Amino acid sequence: MLVPMTIPGIVVLEDNPRATGFHGSGETVDRTVVAPDDSGTACGEPPGLAVENLSAATAVDTQPTALGGGRFRVTMGTQGGVARLVVTACGHTAPRAVSSSAPRRHRAAGARANGC
């Protein structure tokens, strides 16, 4: 028998079950937000989203697209790096890291410059 489980805070799920969490330049990534309200039941409030690149590189486009039903899409930028995705819903806030790998030619050039 399945027993209901209370989930504290926010869970941000990647919609693609085969995804590894690493994404290439220009790739779009759909995610779903699951957040409980104060009573512990699923909250239907649309999530608030903010993206901040953590370096001068554009790892992730800073304008996520709301898809409805707690879903949203982010687009990986043209440069490798890490961004902070902050999701807010039903009185809870959850920061998450999102990483984007550089296009192959940039990785190879960087490796040569570093003597690899």
Amino acid, res. 28? T
Model pTM? 0.73
What is residue 36's DSSP assignment?
A: B
Average pLDDT, the chain: 79
Structural tokens at position 62: 């800073």
105 or 103: whose pLDDT is higher?
A: 103
Alpha helical stretches, state H, the chain: 104-113
Amino acid, res. 55? S
Q: What residues does each domain of the chain span? A: 11-113
Other beta carbons within 10 angstroms of residue 52's beta carbon come to 11
Q: What is d(CA 49, CA 14) in angstroms, rounded to the nearest whole number?
A: 15
Least confident of 50-54, 78-82, 102-106: 102-106
Model pLDDT, residue 8 = 62
Q: Are residues 58 and 82 in contact, defined by beta-carbon separation less than 8 angstroms?
A: no
Determine the distance from the C-alpha atom of residue 21 to the mean position of all C-alpha atoms in its chain, rounded to a whole number. 9
Residue pLDDT, tens place only, 30-60: 998 888 777 777 787 888 999 999 988 889 9
Confidence check: pLDDT of 91 > 90: no
Model pLDDT, residue 18 = 80
CATH of domain 11-113: 2.60.40.10
Using CA atoms, how far residue 3 sits from 6, 19, 25, 73, in Å, is 10, 28, 41, 31
Model pLDDT, residue 104 = 54
Least confident of 3-12, 22-31, 65-74: 3-12
